[in-house]
Amino acid sequence: MTAKILGTGSYLPPKIVTNDELAKTLDTNDEWIFSHTGIHARHVAGADDCTSSMAAKAAGRALEAAGTKPEEIGLVILATTTPDYNTFPATACIVQHALGCRHAGAFDLQAACSGFVYALDMARNWSLANNGRKAIVIGAETLSRIVDWKDRASCILFGDGAGAVVIGGVEDDADAKYEPFAYRSLLGADGGGADFITREGGTRQFIAPDEPDAGQAGTLPKLNLQGHAVFAFAVKTLSAVVKSLCMDAGKHAADLDRIFAHQANGRIIEAVARRMNLPLEKFFMNLATTANTSAASIPISLDEAVRNGELKEGDLIALAGFGAGLTYAGALMQWPHL
């Protein structure tokens, strides 16, 4: 038995905020943002959306695409850095209830922008250990509610949205048109760079129980980003992750049909392509209109590629993410028949 992706789905909130609109309240312009990041616009959640609602919409579409009923799902994993609550209950539980997955366990996974690839690996192994039971893996973010809209060096990078896949066990297909390829994964972290991307307000901050603010540790803190340090880490790590996965599988990077790298900055992806001596066209890119949606970026990209017909059965693909933690993660797989 192998565990495969059975369907994909995504959701982007309808409101679009362009660079020109940001320039009305911020000392910036479309030329700077696009030339430094490859981003023209981002989707921003309205009052009727939050992480759980977007996650449920994306997951509902993935269930529909997979032809799977909510009751068949045994596990819901939601990778997010922007949960509905600070810090519990898990947003995955709200999504599980909204979808009607009443036989499923549910938990959130925090590995920032690498979270979806971490979660996919957890779900795949859980499915194989449980007779091929089906799981939903979601990446969903409402970054617009935690960025500092006065910090032009960080707020311009981010957007909101959700992407999801259904994964489950299938018997090996003897009639497959291609030689089946075993899945490979790589999960990594370097906590030495923990302060490169942070959001304060957790238990790290000491407040004596008798102080007036006890229990309110740093309410509504914003995201802090050391852009240069993250950029350098991203270029080095994304190339290393993809190369290492290929080497482990006895493949060359040139054998890859498509690479789904975390959509953080187009210049990061261009630098990775140059470093790996690969044509830029191998790298899926949609950040011009979605911006950086953190844990949602890779599943949104996958769903877009599936719906545009840019992924076909048998394609050898790599997923590669990096993010706060610092974390990094990759997966190599053959795209299944959907």
Binding site for ligand UT7 (CB under 6 A): 28, 32-33, 36-37, 113, 152-153, 156, 197, 225, 227-228, 230-231, 234, 264-265, 292, 294, 323
**Cβ 270 to ligand UT7 shortest distance, Å:** 12
Query: Which C-beta is closer to ligand UT7: that of 73 or that of 112?
Result: 112
Contacts of residue 144, Cβ cutoff 8 Å, sequence gap at least 6: 42, 44, 45, 158, 159, 160
- Burial of residue 242, with CB atoms counted within 10 A of its CB: 0-12 exposed, 13-18 middle, 19 or more buried: buried
**Cβ 154 to ligand UT7 shortest distance, Å:** 6
**How many residues comprise the chain?**
338
Query: Which C-beta is closer to ligand UT7: that of 328 or that of 335?
Result: 328
Q: Which two tokens stand for residue 318?
A: 């790599």
**Cβ 261 to ligand UT7 shortest distance, Å:** 11
CA distance 291 to 34: 11
Query: Which C-beta is closer to ligand UT7: that of 123 or that of 230?
Result: 230
Are residues 19 and 40 in contact, defined by beta-carbon separation less than 8 angstroms?
A: yes
| Nearest Cα residue to 136 out of 195, 75, 181 | 75
**Cβ 178 to ligand UT7 shortest distance, Å:** 33
Q: Identify the active-site residue in 101, 113, 155, 246.
A: 113
Query: Which C-beta is closer to ligand UT7: that of 39 or that of 166?
Result: 39
Contacts of residue 201, Cβ cutoff 8 Å, sequence gap at least 6: 86, 217, 218, 219, 220, 221
Residue in the shown chain whose Cβ atom is closest to ligand UT7: 227
Q: Identify the active-site residue in 43, 246, 265, 292.
A: 292
* Known catalytic residue at 101: no
- Show which residues are catalytic: 113, 262, 292
